[in-house]
Structures are given as structure tokens and as C-alpha cells.
Amino acid sequence: MKDQITPIALVKAVLAGEIFAVARMMSYAESLNEGCQEALNEIYRHTGKAHIVGITGVPGSGKSTLVAQLCKTIRKTKRKVGVIAVDPSSPFSGGSILGDRIRMNDLVGDSGVFIRSMATRGTLGGLARTTLTGVDILDAAGYDVVLIETVGVGQDEIDIVQAVHTTVVVSAPGLGDDIQAIKAGVLEIADIHVVGKSDRSDANKTISELKSMLMLGAQSQQETEWQIPVLPTCSLNGQGIEELLSTIDNHLENLKSSGELSQRRLDIARTRLLKAAENILREKFEYHSEGKINDLTNQILSGDLHPNAAAKILLSQFLREME
């Protein structure tokens, strides 16, 4: 039975691009299935071919609709495209709130498109814990382009730039605090700025403001070969989507010709190493802390211990056990 297939037994099918195997391997990875790491190690050896693109921006900017249109346009070029849509987690179930991805339903049935929703489960920074593991699986399975659509929570989204080759930041007119959010730190992470819903009358104002801010930022930064564009799109009628894909492809070529792609890959590897170590330490610390927090918490509540002092006690106990 399919339910009895082990992760390592799925590797060959994943590398052959079989959709069932890809979906099942992602499920194993998300559930931290015992024995999954051996399979993921083998899969990772076959990665490094896909163009990884992050799609981010504030809520309401139309990222999901844009991603759906972008997938259709990529498919016209005969390339396979994978999508990992990172959704907010339900505070009750921990599951993905937007897991149905209604706007992408018309892509179902195209064997060259794979869409997966991942719940953040409390992870900060706009990415789920296993997002990049999912990217590895899609990469090894032969998907030419992998799109990561992030939650959309403002400046916390900067994690995306440490996980992808090309970062697309989506804005939309009429969101009120949209430009303010960009001023707060998202402006700098974009390789490409997109203004969605450009059929609206106030779209030109948003485009002009973005271009002005980019010009001001450029004056205080070193010049690079890549000049960050601001592209108007309208996902309802497909306006600007082909130009967006062309610009995404051009950015990858620019990264290759300038040598920056190697640096970005190195940065991604470094980030993943540190994140993995952080996760291992967190798991060990949570296991160690179980049953030991109550006494310290009561001492904090009674005023006998300052929270920082209690934390140092907990950490010192943990480090002694790690020796």
C-alpha cells in the first residue's frame, strides 16, 4: 500500500518527477517523519538547477492571483513550475488557513505545475520551517522555476531574501499603509518591484512613489549592474505578466554574468546551516526544559527571581546536560 512506502523508497520516484512521490515526500518532511533525513540527504545531492523566486508583499496586494498568472505564463515557455505558498497558521489547529488556494484552482490538472501550501506554525519571517526543504524536493524533481509566496506580514518578510535567487515585492494602490511598510524595510530586499491592480486610477501614484524612493536609495548605495525595475501588472487581464517573467529571467542571467549567483547560493547555504542548528538547539532546549519551568516561573511570579536570572539558571542547567 502507498501509505507503507518509506521516505527512502520514494527518492527514485521523486527524482523522476512523479507527482505522488513529490507530494508524499513533502508530507513526510513537514511531519518530521522518522527516517526522512536519509531521503532528504539523497534528494539534496540532485538540487541546484531550479531558479528560486520569492514573491512577497503586504496582505491584499494580490500575490496569489499574480502567482497564478505567472505560473500560466511560465508554462507557455514549456518550463515546469512549482509553487510553495506559505500560509498563516490557524491558532487552534496549527493548520494552514488559506490552504485551499482558491485563486489557483484553475491550474489543477496541469502536470507541469505543482502547488503546495505550508503553514507557518508560528515561524517568524514569512517562511514555514520546511519551506526550503520543499524547494529542494521540487528542484530535484525537475521543476525549472520554484516560486515561494510568503505570508505577507510587512518587514518581517526579509527572511525571503536569504532563501531565493530573485525577490519580487508586490505592492498595490489604495492599501493606505503599503508604501509606509515598504519604507520600513521591504524596499531594499526587492530585485523587482511589482505594482499590481494597475488598472486602478491611483496606480500611477504608487508607481511614482516607488520609483522616487528607489532613486533616493540608489544615491546612498553603490551602483550595481542590475537596476531595480518597477513593473505595473493587472492579474485580472494578464497585463504585464509576460514582461514580469522576462524581467525575472533577465535577473537570473544578470546574476550569472556578474558572478553574484554564486554568492547568493553561498548565502542561502549559510542561512540554512544556521537555521538548522537553531532548530536542533530549540528542540533539545524544549525537551530539557519540560518539567523544569514551573518552579522558576513561580519564583518569577513571587518576585524572588528576575526573568533574566531565571533564564540564566535554565540555560546553565541545559548547558551542563549538553556536556
Boundary-marking domain end, from 258, 282, 311:
258
* Strand-pair category, 113-119 with 166-171: unpaired
The domain in which residue 26 lies consists of 1-46
Determine the Cα–Cα distance for residues 265 and 282; give it in Å rounded to an integer.
Answer: 26
264 within domain boundaries: no
My answer on whether 54 and 107 are in the same domain is: yes
CATH of the domain at 111: 3.40.50.300
- The residue among 77, 64, 54 whose CA lies nearest residue 135 is 54
41 lies in the same domain as 52: no
The verdict on residue 132 lying in a domain is yes
**pLDDT at position 1:** 41
Domain boundary among 258, 285, 302: 258
Task: Judge if 63 and 5 occupy the same domain.
Answer: no
137 and 277 in a single domain? The answer is no
Q: Is residue 266 part of a domain?
A: no
> Does residue 71 contact residue 83 with C-beta atoms inside 8 Å?
yes
Q: How far apart are CA 265 and CA 205, in angstroms?
A: 36
CA-CA distances (angstroms) from residue 317 to 44, 288, 309?
Answer: 36, 9, 13
Mind giving me the DSSP string for 202-215?
THHHHHHHHHHHHH
Identify whether 56 is part of a domain. yes
Rounded to whole angstroms, the Cα distance separating 48 from 63 reads 26
**How many structural domains does the chain have?**
3
- What's the pLDDT at 175? 64
Identify whether 186 is part of a domain.
Answer: yes
Residue 80's pLDDT is what?
A: 97
What is the reported pTM? Answer: 0.86
Q: Is residue 263 part of a domain?
A: no
Q: Which parts of the chain have pLDDT scores under 70? A: 1-3, 88-106, 120-128, 151-158, 175-186, 217-224, 323
Please tell me whether residues 16 and 81 are part of one structural domain. no
For 93-133, what is the HEC assignment? CCCECCCCCHHHHHHCCCCCEEEEEEECCCCCCCCCCCHHH
At 152 the pLDDT is 63
Tell me: do 86 and 207 sit in the same domain. yes
Q: What percent of the chain has pLDDT over 90?
A: 48
Alpha helices (H) in the chain, listed in sequence order: 7-15, 19-30, 36-44, 63-75, 131-140, 178-181, 203-219, 241-258, 260-289, 293-302, 307-322
Same domain, 10 and 157: no
267, part of any domain: no
Task: Judge if 186 and 150 occupy the same domain.
Answer: yes
Residue 60 and residue 35 in one domain: no
* 244 and 95 share one domain: yes
pLDDT tens column, 55-82: 988 777 888 889 999 999 999 999 999 9
Is 268 within a domain?
no
Query: Are 68 and 206 contained in the same domain?
Result: yes
pLDDT given for residue 126 in this prediction: 47
* 224 and 245, same domain (yes or no): yes
